[in-house]
């Protein structure tokens, strides 16, 4: 059997790194697109990378950008991929209010650029396309659980851009017969989650505090409710969506919901600390305090979480809870990691990093001799 070729955009991100691992383990030749940055940005995939002189199978990296049609077209043409996973995006909801036009270019027009490259290059019958859609499409819809038939009401420039990405994927499937599908994924986290998303922000800050490093955890809306799963489980669903007889869109979720406050409590409990709430108003400083003195730098009554209006959003998504029945029945996909296993894995990893930071003054994995990693061609 000939080896399948996969192209992953956003390979340096959380999902990209897990997906690259999965596809390499399945024997794919895996190519990823990375952006040029002034500092290293391949930390999550360094363990997978092989340069062109290395005969072992490994991840190949190419420079590119979702806002640059020319390079996307050229990469699709030269790599002739069997499967394209479009994971690249300006993925931070809050940041999208600050950078709405860029978010639209990367997140809405980005998928269009790839879909049209597939069409223009006559790869309709070869290249299958996966679009990273999101539960943010449901945004203001308070009716839960949400499934593939629930109407959309995005509540941020990110959500609106992703809505375009979703529908243009459906449109290219219907208009040109591409094998193109959207995974409407609910929040998924891991120790590789970006440090400014709320779960990772919580586990990192509490773990640092636990080992005696400073820092109050400043958060916005503690009442938002999310359906949190593990990224490792969710990339399997992405792969499964491209292995079917017919392309279709699927909701991927755990079917279990927790508030941000619940997440803080669960993470603290993993670290052996009981918490108390002193209030819930926006102006109430010191919303969450420590109850038990079990950490080196933390006494009973210490303020652990401070509510900071800076982290509230102009428009919030209050409640997300997914119904992934279609994925279970048609893809045979079920989440493997429970909420508590997820919290525990994240806390454990951040505790390790915090200890390292305390002992060596850095939490980065960077090897001192690391070089720029990319391949010039396929
Ligand atoms: P991350 O933010 O961790 O990764 C995003 C990736 O996109 C990074 O590799 C980033 O590069 C890259 N990227 C950003 N902008 C560009 C650009 N202009 N050109 C090329 N690459 C770019 O996101 P996740 O891994 O968590 O999510 C993957 C995808 O799934 C995203 O599209 C996200 O919107 C979507 N999604 C995520 C969910 C989640 O809960 N994680 C839920 C539903 C959807 P760099 O490393 O240089 O920043
Ligand atoms: P979200 O994730 O917006 O759901 O988007 P995020 O973790 O950023 O926020 C979740 C909820 O927590 C509330 N919140 C805070 N959020 C952040 N980031 N920082 C804070 O200090 C804070 N305090 C409270 C937020 O208001 C929100 O309600 C993620 C991204 O991965 C998207 O790319 C993806 O599409 C969706 O999940 C599904």
Q: What is the DSSP string of 315-328?
A: S---B--B--HHII
**Token match 């045979």: residue?**
332
Name the residue with the closest Cα to ligand 2, atom 9. Answer: 198
The DSSP secondary structure of 259-278, one letter per residue, reads EHHHHHHHHHHHTT--EEE-
Q: Which atom of ligand 2 is the closest one to the Cα of 93?
A: 3
pLDDT, tens only, 301-350: 777 888 899 999 999 999 999 999 999 999 999 999 999 999 999 999 99
Give the number of whichever ligand sits closest to the CA of residue 196.
Answer: 2
Q: Mention every residue, 6+ apart, whose C-beta is less than 8 A from residue 233.
A: 188, 335, 336, 337
Q: What is the mean pLDDT of residues 356-365?
A: 77
- What is the CB < 6 Å shell around ligand 2? 91, 93-94, 134-136, 186-187, 196-198, 201, 219-221, 224, 226, 260, 311, 313, 316-317
Q: Which of 11, 12, 13 to mutate to test the pocket of ligand 1 (most atoms within 8 A of CB)?
A: 13
The tokens for 276 are 């108390």
Rounded to whole angstroms, the Cα distance separating 272 from 187 reads 26
Which is it for strands 250-252 and 258-259: parallel, antiparallel or unpaired?
unpaired
Which is it for strands 303-307 and 288-290: parallel, antiparallel or unpaired?
antiparallel
Please count the other Cβ atoms lying within 10 Å of the Cβ belonging to residue 155.
Answer: 20
Name the residue with the closest Cα to ligand 2, atom 38. Answer: 187
* CATH, domain range 198-220+260-316+346-360: 3.90.25.10
- What is the CB < 6 Å shell around ligand 1? 9-10, 12-16, 33, 35, 37, 41, 65-67, 87-91, 106, 132, 134, 185, 187-188, 194
Q: Which atom of ligand 2 is the closest one to the Cα of 196?
A: 18
Q: Which of 45, 88, 198, 346 to mutate to test the pocket of ligand 1 (most atoms within 8 A of CB)?
A: 88
pTM: 0.95
Domain with CATH 3.40.50.720 in the chain: 5-185
pLDDT, tens only, 13-58: 999 999 999 999 999 999 999 999 999 999 999 999 877 677 678 9
Rounded to the nearest angstrom, the distance between the alpha carbon of 198 and the centre of ligand 2 is: 5
Name the CATH topology of 5-185.
Rossmann fold (3.40.50)
Name the residue with the closest Cα to ligand 2, atom 27. Answer: 224
Rounded to whole angstroms, the Cα distance separating 79 from 64 reads 13
User: What ipTM goes with this model?
Assistant: 0.99
Give the number of whichever ligand sits closest to the CA of residue 251.
Answer: 1
Closest listed residue to residue 184, CA positions, set 119, 138, 244: 138
Q: Which atom of ligand 2 is the closest one to the Cα of 132?
A: 35
Rounded to the nearest angstrom, the distance between the alpha carbon of 2 and the centre of ligand 2 is: 41
Rounded to whole angstroms, the Cα distance separating 52 from 161 reads 36
Rounded to the nearest angstrom, the distance between the alpha carbon of 343 and the centre of ligand 2 is: 16
pLDDT, tens only, 217-234: 999 999 999 999 999 999
pLDDT, tens only, 68-103: 999 999 999 999 999 999 999 999 999 999 999 999
pLDDT, tens only, 257-306: 999 999 999 999 999 887 776 554 433 444 577 766 677 777 777 778 88
Name the residue with the closest Cα to ligand 2, atom 19. Answer: 198
Domain with CATH 3.90.25.10 in the chain: 198-220+260-316+346-360
Closest listed residue to residue 119, CA positions, set 176, 174, 158, 160: 176
Rounded to whole angstroms, the Cα distance separating 283 from 186 reads 30
* Per-residue exposure over 66-91, b if at least 16 CB sit within 10 Å of its own CB, e if not: bbbbebbbebbeebebbbbbbbbbbb
Rounded to whole angstroms, the Cα distance separating 257 from 238 reads 22
Please count the other Cβ atoms lying within 10 Å of the Cβ belonging to residue 180.
Answer: 29
Q: Are 254 and 320 in contact (CB under 8 A)?
A: no
Catalytically active residues are: 134, 136, 158
Rounded to whole angstroms, the Cα distance separating 132 from 16 reads 11
Rounded to whole angstroms, the Cα distance separating 200 from 194 reads 7
């Amino acid at each position: 059997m000939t080896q399948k070729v996969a192209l992953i955009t956003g390979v340096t991100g959380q999902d990209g790194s897990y997906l690259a691992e999965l596809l390499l383990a399945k024997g794919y030749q895996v190519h990823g697109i990375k952006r040029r940055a002034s500092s290293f940005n391949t930390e999550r995939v360094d363990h997978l990378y092989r340069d062109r002189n290395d005969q072992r199978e490994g991840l190949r990296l190419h420079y590119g950008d979702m806002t640059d049609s020319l390079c996307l077209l050229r990469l699709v043409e030269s790599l002739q991929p069997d499967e394209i996973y479009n994971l690249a995006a300006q993925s931070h909801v809050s940041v999208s209010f600050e950078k709405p036009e860029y978010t639209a270019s990367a997140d809405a027009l980005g998928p269009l650029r790839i879909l049209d490259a597939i069409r223009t290059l006559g790869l309709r019958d070869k290249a299958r396309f996966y679009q990273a859609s999101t539960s943010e499409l449901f945004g203001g819809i308070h009716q839960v659980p949400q499934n593939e038939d629930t109407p959309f009401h995005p509540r941020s420039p990110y959500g609106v851009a992703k809505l375009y990405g979703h529908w243009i994927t459906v449109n290219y499937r219907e208009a040109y017969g591409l094998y193109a599908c959207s995974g409407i994924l609910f929040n998924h986290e891991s120790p590789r989650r970006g440090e400014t998303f709320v779960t990772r922000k919580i586990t990192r800050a509490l773990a640092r505090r636990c080992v005696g490093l400073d820092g109050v955890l400043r958060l916005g809306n503690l009442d938002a409710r999310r359906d949190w799963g593990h990224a490792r489980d969710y990339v399997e669903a992405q792969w499964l969506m491209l292995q079917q007889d017919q392309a279709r869109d699927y909701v991927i979720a755990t079917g279990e919901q927790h508030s941000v406050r619940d997440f803080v409590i669960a993470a603290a409990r993993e670290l052996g600390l009981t918490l108390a709430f002193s209030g819930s108003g926006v102006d109430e400083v010191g919303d969450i305090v420590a109850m038990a003195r079990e950490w080196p730098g933390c006494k009973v009554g210490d303020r652990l979480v401070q509510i900071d209006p800076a982290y509230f959003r102009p428009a919030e998504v209050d409640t997300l809870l997914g119904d992934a029945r279609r994925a279970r029945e048609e893809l045979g996909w079920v989440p493997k990691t429970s909420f508590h296993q997820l919290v525990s894995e994240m806390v454990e990893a951040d505790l390790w990093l915090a200890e390292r930071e305390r002992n060596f003054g850095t939490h980065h994995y960077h090897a001192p001799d690391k070089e720029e990693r990319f391949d010039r061609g396929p």
